[in-house]
Structure 1
Amino acid sequence: MPVSDADHLAPYACRPARGRLIDEPESRIRSPFQRDRDRVVHARSFRRLMYKTQVFVSHEGDHYRTRLTHSLEVAQISRTIARVLRLDEDLAEVVALAHDLGHPPFGHAGEDALALAAAAFGGFDHNVQALRVVTMFERRYAAFDGLNLTWETIEGLAKHNGPLTGPHAAPRQRPPVVSETLAAIAAVKPLDLDGWPSIEAQVASLADDIAYIAHDIDDGLRAGLLSIDQVAALPLVGPLLAGLITEYPGLEQRRLIGELLRRLIDRLVTDLIEETRGRIAAAKIGHADDARHAGAPMVAFSAQMDQDRRAVQSYLFGAVYRHVRVNRMTSKARRVVRDLVALFLAEPECLPDGWRERTEGPGTAVTARVVVDYVAGMTDRLARDEYETLFNPFVRT
């Protein structure tokens, strides 16, 4: 029998009930969600996250977050919350580990540049790109392309930010590639795009926010983009910092920041667990599908905590992501991605083997999709190397 904590799960925890995109024998020693997690961890696209920017590019320092370390932090927070709520920890973990697989090089700067460059050809969305990675581009298995994950994991990735259609969908325009990609999956197993994802996937989504707040403060202070005085003025964070300074007067800054972040994460996680328990009880959620069809998400912060954390996120966005140092890196990153896409669109013969053969001539929609997929899969380092090779006439090809 597969190793599983199914007997200890809450009634509303998600079970692997809908199979995989392609039928295959299940393992005798691992549950379906454990296998999903292991497939993600062994994927090439997961390893590449080590060299993809979170905020700072890798050559700026060894201790800043990358997409890989961020994903591991999100997974740890997700498992903690799932364990307390008696959810399936493995499902929460795999959604957390895989949620950033579609991010291009250079973080949000790369995504913005790709979306603009591909606007006439279906656009770009990193959540959709993650689906393309796990259903198409990983090629480790003899019987299928992609990782052949369970329906529940695919659902969690597709609806990472909530329903994509219907009355509860966020008011945003989705590029046509969403319909194209999801239609291909729906032809095999429909994803119920009007509904919420499982509670486990909702946990992973807000664990992402918790990790972002903590590491933006940590990396911002480490890089000198934030000061202790600025952090002390923030809601939620300031009172925690004041309490620490009173409790440990004269504590060196490195330890002060570490203890602050530990307590901040604990405060956010504890609040989320308490609010989520209350929502599940109030809505009388007795099955995973009850949560999918509820009128609101089950996983949430309390009203005051949500207000405070949004204020902190808003401040950090301006102070860190819009700092002149980051703006200059962002400008260069956008230029690299934009120029690479433009060159490959005009001259697809410059694409490497395995990609070039899939194109259909300069400027076509098919070629554009191939180019976007290729550039999106690049690490920061590969993007810089390709740019140098293709645009510097004195570099040997």
Structure 2
Amino acid sequence: MNLSFETREGILKHCSRRNAQALELQEPGGVGRRFLDGTQPSLEAQLCNLADEIAYNAHDVDDGVRSGLIGLEQLREVPLVATHMDAARREHPGLEGRRLLFETLRRLLSAQVYDVIDATRDALRQHRIEKVSDVRMSPLLVQFTPAMRDESLALKRFLFAQLYRHPQVESTTHRARCVVRELFEAYVTGAAELPSAAAESATPFRAVTDYVAGMTDRFAISEHRRITGRTVFEDHGRVSGG
């Protein structure tokens, strides 16, 4: 895809120094540069990064409750969630179950979004940001207030302990890794044939990597079953978990 520099820079969230050096050789002063000189990406990239984190956590709370891995009342262990659940119950005494969860998450998301707006406005004023180069040379500007940051970290710790490390999720993750690994091996060794369009990449390993990475959960499971003759997942739907 013919993406702009700013878009590509925003997509590249993490990069090791070694990979950044390789990118710098390919594109001097390009997207890898900031990982070598310690500067910040654009405000838009910073905002997308934090917005993704906010949405990811809310989605996982919903996923955890919907799957039965987390109980609705169990969420009250997280102060940030308990605050908004209590507020939802006070305002709507009849809310229970999914409706209570949706209203709690709606309030939680709003609180985090407005917190980011306030904290970022203060940071822009404090660091006297006037141009793009000011953004790059400043500390991270798009962020939570310290209080919200602590509460959001508590939510992430809860999800890690109660959802991402749940035995059922770990079992699903293990099986998903098995599917990806065996698909990769089958295509690399020639046990399965890549579509001609996918095989046009520079190297066989790159071609297989790109092809497998582009698969949906459903297609990967179906293709794995076709190639190996084994059923790793009974349901061909989305592989959830973390």
Q: TM-score range by the shorter chain?
A: 0.7 to 0.9
The one of 273, 295, 299 aligned to 2:117: 273
Query: d(CA) in 2 for partners of 1:356 and 1:232?
Result: 51
Query: d(CA) in 2 for partners of 1:372 and 1:197?
Result: 28
- The answer to whether 1:352 aligns with 2:195 is yes
The one of 320, 339, 343 aligned to 2:182: 339
- Residue 162 of structure 2 corresponds to 319
- Residue 150 of structure 2 corresponds to 307
Q: For the structure 1 residues 157 and 264, does the alpha-carbon distance in structure 2 shift closer, same or farther, using more than 3 Å as the test?
A: same
**In the TM superposition, what is the alpha-carbon distance from 1:181 to its structure 2 partner?**
5.3
Query: d(CA) in 1 for partners of 2:178 and 2:108?
Result: 36
Query: d(CA) in 2 for partners of 1:181 and 1:382?
Result: 32
- Look up the equivalent residue of 2:144 and give its one-letter code: F
**In the TM superposition, what is the alpha-carbon distance from 1:290 to its structure 2 partner?**
0.5
- The C-alpha deviation readout for 1:186-214, integer Å capped at 9, x for no partner, is 15x62332321111111110001110121
The one of 70, 82, 89 aligned to 1:245: 89
**In the TM superposition, what is the alpha-carbon distance from 1:255 to its structure 2 partner?**
1.8
Taking the TM superposition and a 5 Å limit, the aligned residue runs for 1:1-397 are 146=1, 148-158=2-12, 160-161=13-14, 164=15, 173=16, 176=19, 179-180=21-22, 183-184=25-26, 186=27, 190-191=30-31, 192-193=33-34, 194=37, 195-294=39-138, 296-347=139-190, 350-358=193-201, 366-392=203-229
**In the TM superposition, what is the alpha-carbon distance from 1:247 to its structure 2 partner?**
2.7
Q: Is the 8 A contact 2:47 2:142 kept in 1?
A: yes
**In the TM superposition, what is the alpha-carbon distance from 1:180 to its structure 2 partner?**
4.5
Question: What SS does structure 1 have at the residue aligned with 2:215?
Answer: coil
Q: Is the 8 A contact 1:152 1:198 kept in 2?
A: yes
Query: d(CA) in 2 for partners of 1:307 and 1:149?
Result: 35
Aligned pairs, how many?
226
Q: Is the 8 A contact 1:232 1:242 kept in 2?
A: no
Q: For the structure 1 residues 340 and 175, does the alpha-carbon distance in structure 2 shift closer, same or farther, using more than 3 Å as the test?
A: farther
Q: For the structure 1 residues 182 and 223, does the alpha-carbon distance in structure 2 shift closer, same or farther, using more than 3 Å as the test?
A: farther
Unaligned runs of 5+ in 2: 231-242
Cα-Cα RMSD: 2.2
Bigger proportion of residues as helix: 2
Identity percentage over the alignment? 38
Query: d(CA) in 1 for partners of 2:25 and 2:212?
Result: 23
Q: For the structure 1 residues 328 and 174, does the alpha-carbon distance in structure 2 shift closer, same or farther, using more than 3 Å as the test?
A: farther
Query: d(CA) in 1 for partners of 2:198 and 2:24?
Result: 22
Q: Is the 8 A contact 2:50 2:143 kept in 1?
A: yes
- The C-alpha deviation readout for 1:294-326, integer Å capped at 9, x for no partner, is 1x1111101111111011011112212222222
- Look up the equivalent residue of 1:152 and give its one-letter code: E
Deviating more after overlay: 343-352 vs 324-333: 343-352
Q: Is the 8 A contact 1:350 1:356 kept in 2?
A: no
Q: Is the 8 A contact 1:348 1:356 kept in 2?
A: no
Structure ranking higher on relative contact order (CA contacts 8 Å, 6+ apart): 1
- Look up the equivalent residue of 1:149 and give its one-letter code: L
Q: For the structure 1 residues 224 and 349, does the alpha-carbon distance in structure 2 shift closer, same or farther, using more than 3 Å as the test?
A: closer
